[in-house]
Each structure stands twice: as C-alpha cells, then as structure tokens.
Amino acid sequence: MTVEAIQQLEGLKILYQTGRQAFILPPYHFHAVMTFETSAHCGTALWDYEWWLKASKAGIEWEYGWARDYMANEHPRSEAVALLNDLDVAMGKWEQLLAKLVKKNVNVMKFKPWVKETSKKVKVLLNDLKG
C-alpha cells in the first residue's frame, strides 16, 4: 500500500548531501532520510496539532539559534546565510498558509503572531549576516 501511494506522488526529488548542511522543508512535505552520521531532525505528528505546533516552534527556534551562533558552532557564515534563506522562504509559506486558514480557529490564532515575529527576526539576522 505504501509503495502504491509513493508511485502516485508527483514532483519527487532526491537530495544527496555530504558534510555539514542544513535545510528546511516547507509545510506539507513528506521526506525520508538515510544517514550514516548523526542527523538532527524536527518532525511533525499529523495526528496531534497542539504537539505539532510546539515541535514546529522548537525546530525553527533551534535552526534560528544555530544560524545566529554559527561561529560558536564552528560553521562558516555562508552556511548560516543559506539556512536563513531557507528559513525565510519557509516562514513566508507559513504566513501565506495561515492567511488562508479560518480565523476563528484558536490554534491558528495562537500560531500566527509567532510566525510573524519569527519571520521578522529571520529577516533582520539574514540582512545583518549578508551585511
């Protein structure tokens, strides 16, 4: 059944990475990972929205902090800028998605201000690093 579902998916891509890299998948992306090294992930549980919001915030905050402290983590500025570019795109997609959702939804109303604030923080840090 899973194989049949995969065969119906469109726009499948393979991302082959070596070395230290980070990337963000926008909302509503499925992915599989095969790794031979330590790999940090933030995933979502589709059956529990409250937990998903907390995990999404925690993952994005971790990525933001990693980019902000790239030198302390011994990473080049270019990797921090690349991560922030991806995070900026992802936050823009979140803003678009939340604008379309029902405004009476309590969970949407809790998440929306955080997305707006985080999006601004990402843009400021990105501009500082591109400086």
pLDDT for 64-107, tens place per residue? Answer: 999 999 899 888 999 899 989 989 998 998 888 888 776 777 77
- Beta-carbon contacts of 4 under 8 Å, excluding residues fewer than 6 positions away, are none
pLDDT at 24: 67
Give tens-digit pLDDT for 12-58.
Answer: 777 777 776 666 666 666 677 666 666 666 555 455 567 767 778 88
pLDDT at 122: 94
How many CA atoms does the CB half-sphere of 63 hold within 13 Å?
30
Closest CA relative to residue 23, chosen from 42, 44, 6, 47? 42
Burial class, 91, CB count within 10 angstroms (exposed 0-12 / middle 13-18 / buried 19+)? buried
Segments forming the whole domain that contains residue 46: 2-130
Quick count: other Cβ atoms within 10 Å of Cβ 61? 14
Domain count, the chain: 1
Long-range contacts of 72-80 (CB under 8 A, 24+ apart): 75/20, 77/129, 79/20, 79/21, 79/22, 80/129
CB 67 within 8 A of CB 84: yes
